[in-house]
Structure 1
Amino acid sequence: MNSNEATYKNSKKVPFILRNIVLVIIILIATIFLFDRNPSNDDVGWVAFIVFWTVKSGFDFIEDRKNGRKVSAIINLTLIAIGFGILLWQMISFLSL
């Protein structure tokens, strides 16, 4: 294994690690808000779960496009659209109160 191959493998690991760190932070925020004693924070926890779902689908969409998996990319794009729709609906209902 020469240094170019090692550098290439390390450059592939960094985005994967950063992606997982972002997803873990979002899931921790969601669980903190869902399982605290204040029941009014449950809405924030569910919205954080929807954000997690949307962000994970976005990362999967990008990966599927790179690897040429068109059907899976379309499914992930649909999940992203549904996630944004739910987030938009929650934002509108929150602001209309």
Structure 2
Amino acid sequence: MKENSWSKKSRKIVRGLIYAALFIGAVQFLFDPDPFNDYIGWGFLLMFWLIRMVHSAVRNLNDGHRNLAMLDVGMAIMSGLAVAAVWITYFIGL
């Protein structure tokens, strides 16, 4: 049988690269001299948190920890709403 799926190691590497890119982008935008880029930095940091919570929820659900998975889903929803608020504030300027 032909294996088209990604191995666990490659998925872990890609996930780590995404986490690193979001975190480094957040730090770079938060600590630059332009204060208007802080919204972008907070958006990147919240996206990092959102992706991390969704991954944690899926992992906990697969491990059979339903209560922890629901906690992670709730935190992911709150993080998603915060991301939406930050980006709407940045683009519309409310």
TM-score (norm 1): 0.80
- Percent of pairs with identical residues: 24
Please state how far the C-alpha of 1:63 moved relative to its aligned partner: 1.1
Find the counterpart in structure 2 of residue 72 from structure 1: 68
Give yes or no for the alignment of 1:53 onto 2:49: yes
Find the counterpart in structure 2 of residue 33 from structure 1: 29
Give yes or no for the alignment of 1:21 onto 2:17: yes
Please state how far the C-alpha of 1:35 moved relative to its aligned partner: 0.9
Find the counterpart in structure 1 of residue 3 from structure 2: none
Query: Which letter maps to 1:39?
Result: P
Greater RCO (Cα-Cα under 8 Å, separation 6 or more): 2
Query: Which letter maps to 2:31?
Result: F
Query: Which protein is richer in helix relative to its size?
Result: 1
Please state how far the C-alpha of 1:65 moved relative to its aligned partner: 1.5
Structure 1: gaps (5+ residues)? 1-9
2-side partners of 1:28 and 1:91: how far apart? 18
3-state DSSP of counterpart to 1:17:
helix
Name the Cα RMSD after superposition.
Answer: 1.7
Find the counterpart in structure 2 of residue 92 from structure 1: 88
* CA distance 1:15–1:75, change in 2 (3 Å): same
1-side partners of 2:37 and 2:89: how far apart? 16
